[in-house]
Amino acid sequence: MPTFLAESVTMNNKALYDKPDWSFYIASLQDEDVGIGSLYINDGTAILAASAVKPKARNQGVHQALIQIRINEALKQNCSFMIGHAKFASISQNNMERWIKNGLYKKYMDRSKVNDFTEGGRGLNV
């Protein structure tokens, strides 16, 4: 996350923390908090909202784990539609696209709302 956004994202997360439709997930490596991801769920729709990983913890699967745990929670809550947002051409976008290529959307998305962009994907084991 660009440093100029850190303060506003922190304020936003604090404002949303007690809201019932929002959940926050902390990722830790070697007993140190190194990442955060937020999830909004309402009426069968899940939004994988803001996520960030400390620079020293990048390239260790932290962001992918944050994506996976939020998707798993959305599936547990019977969400049929999931939305993720990330900066265009970013590592975050690449990580989310891995889930698409692995067939997550093919298996779980509501096809009346989105096109099926995958072919023969594996789906997600939960």
CA-nearest of 96, 99, 95, 94 to 126 is 99
DSSP string, 15-39: HHTT-TTEEEEEEEETTEEEEEEEE
Q: How far apart are CA 72 and CA 32, in angstroms?
A: 23
**pTM for this prediction:** 0.72
Q: Assess contact for 70 and 52: CB atoms under 8 A.
A: no
Residue 44: the pLDDT is: 94
CATH 3.40.630.30 describes domain 3-108 = yes
Two structure tokens written together for 85: 């947002």
Q: How far apart are CA 24 and CA 48, in angstroms?
A: 10
Lowest mean pLDDT among 4-8, 13-17, 75-79, 92-96: 4-8
In percent, the amount of the chain with pLDDT more than 70 equals: 75
